Structure formats: C-alpha cells, structure tokens
Amino acid sequence: MNGIEKITAHIAAGAEEEIREMREASDARCAEIMAEYERQAQAEYWQMIKDGARQIEDSASRAERTAGLEAKKLILAMKQQMVSRAFELAREKIAQLPEQDYVGFLARMASSAAITGQEELIFNERDSQRVGRKVVKAANEWLARGGMRQGLTLSDETREISGGLVLRQGDIEVNCTVDTMLALGRGELA
C-alpha cells in the first residue's frame, strides 16, 4: 500500500466513521421523533376516548331527562283526563239527583250566594217549572236560619243553562250554574 492508498484509505475510514455517526445520530433522532409522535398519538387517542365517553354520558343524561319529562307529561295528561271524567260524572250525578235532593242543593247554593236576600232566582225553563218555587222557599228558609232577610223570588225569565241558577238583583248577577260551579272547582284543582 503506497502513500496515496493509505491517505485514501484513511479518508475513506474517516468518512465511513462520520457516515456511521451521522446514521446513528439520525436513527436516534428518528427514534425520538417517532417516540414523541407515538406519545402524542396515545394522548390524542385517550382524549378522544374520554371525549366520546363524556358525549355518551351527556346523551344518556339528556335522554333520561327527556324520558322523565315525557313521563311527567303523560302522567299529567292522565290526571287531567281523570279530573275531566270526575267532573263529568259530578255533572251527571247532579242532573240525576232526586227532586228533593236537587231542591236542597240549589237552595243551599242560592242562600250562600245571596248578598242581600232580595235577589231573584233565574233557572233554565225545565227547572223553573219543576223546582223553581220549591228552591225559592227552601232558600228563604236557609236565609232565615242564618239571620238574613227572606226576600228571594222566582224570576219569570229563564236562561239556556244546563242546571243550577243565577241570582240577580238589578244589574248584578251571581252565576251559580252547575257548569260554572264545576269550572270553579276544576280551576282550584289546577
């Protein structure tokens, strides 16, 4: 081996050493970059898992609240149906009361609604003919027991009402129809 070959071999050996060191450094840097990206990928993966789990929990919670509200609405609708049916049954029972009980019912209503005891009682045509005078008499008796003046009278006027009566004195009327009393009772339940 002559001098040039030695120099060339020495340069080649130095270059190979430098290439090997550069390759090791680049492999180490690549491994660091790969490890960093792997760590970031793992962090993003777990964050996506957490976000997905939170979204599922939120969706389940919303679904549960919605189901609860729907159940409450259904229960309320059922209660309203039951109340409506109860008031319809009450209306039917009042309409089917025996005459004596119906007279007592209307007389108590008239006497408790009377302000001066001088009002006139207005009925529907059927009740006016059938029980009007009896109700006036019984209501005046109730007023007497309560220490009020007994001047209730039967009006010649009739109204298109399902049942009950209207007390009138001048321009002032007190509506004691069955429908109004039931509506007031229903309003108190609402």
Per-residue pLDDT of the chain (190 residues; tens, 9 = 90+): 677 888 787 787 777 888 888 888 888 888 888 888 899 989 898 999 898 889 999 898 999 999 999 999 999 999 889 888 988 888 888 888 999 999 999 999 999 999 999 999 999 999 999 999 999 999 999 999 988 888 999 999 999 998 999 999 999 999 999 988 888 887 776 5
User: Do residues 176 and 166 make contact, with C-beta atoms less than 8 angstroms apart?
Assistant: yes
> What is the reported pLDDT for 120?
97
> What is the reported pLDDT for 25?
84
Rounded to whole angstroms, the Cα distance separating 136 from 28 reads 112
pTM above 0.85, yes or no: no
User: Do residues 95 and 130 make contact, with C-beta atoms less than 8 angstroms apart?
Assistant: no
Nearest to 184 by CA among 87, 102, 112: 87
Distances (CA, A) of 156 to 23, 91, 132: 119, 25, 10
> What is the reported pLDDT for 153?
95
> What is the reported pLDDT for 1?
62
- DSSP three-state, residue 102: helix
Strand 164-169 with 120-123, pairing: antiparallel
